[in-house]
Amino acid sequence: MSATMTMANLLQASSTSKTHLELCILTSHISSYPQPPANITSDTLAHSTVTLDPPNPTSSDFTYLLSGPLDNFLLYSGQEQSQWLIDIAHDICDPALKCSSLKVWDLAGQMWRNVKPTDPLTTSTYLYDIQTMISLTNISECAGRSKTSSGGNASAMAYNVKQRDEQQCWISRIIEPNENGHLCPKRMGDHLLHIVYSTFVSTPPPPTLSIYDEICGITLSATLNHWFSKYELGLRLVALVQVYIFLSLQLINGS
């Protein structure tokens, strides 16, 4: 968990930090998951596992989510400007609804003001003003590298995913060496998968939905999948792009 700080410390940091951008949320909105059972064998157990414990509503602390030199944020945000930081805050705290807003501390006015998507990123303290309770704890930690046997469900899944993706990494488009990245780790199991599916898909999960279905896999290069499995690389939708190829017989024939 990121370090917490009081409002006084937050304001002092804002006035003294000249090169860093910081993103925080109110600690009073952070909950924790209960200790999960050793094996989740039913939907009932799965729902109890993702039921959040109540937070401390009286806490006035802030919790850092991101902090670093502004140049690093400008490198990753590109031309998206503040829209990039808004999207990242959504992904960390509110990936399903994306209904909360981003605010920035106005040092001159001593107040939080709303951030517009087109605002340039600055060396400021940003607050993700989320109203619901969230948890920043991974349901399934990557404790070690699991090995896939040469047969069985995992092997069939890896084959189907690579065939679907035409053997190409989703990001680099290279053909090999590639691996089957698991969007939902196998150790989560079918019952937790049903909850994840229901959270992000508008239709009910199929009765036969399995952690080994190809919808739970993505073809990534071996290097990218290493970081993906450690939760240090993520994917987000920026825009749907359609590519149209027009063949002109006149141009081909040189006329």
Give 81-123 pLDDT, tens digit per residue: 999 999 999 988 988 888 899 999 998 888 999 999 999 999 9
Q: Contact at 8 Å (CB) between 142 and 231?
A: yes
Q: Contact at 8 Å (CB) between 49 and 36?
A: yes
- Nearest CA among 150, 164, 161 for reference residue 225: 161
How do residues 122-160 score in pLDDT, each as one tens digit? 999 999 998 888 887 655 555 544 444 445 688 999 999
pLDDT-based confidence at 254, cuts 50/70/90? very low
Claim: this prediction has a pTM higher than 0.75 = no
Instruction: Give the span between the Cα atoms of 191 and 212, in whole angstroms.
Output: 12
Predicted confidence at residue 115, as pLDDT, reads: 97
* Residue 81, C-beta contacts closer than 8 angstroms, at least 6 positions apart: 117, 118, 119, 120, 121
Query: What is the bridge-based pairing of β-strands 134-135 and 30-31?
Result: parallel
Higher pLDDT, 24 or 11: 24
Predicted confidence at residue 248, as pLDDT, reads: 40
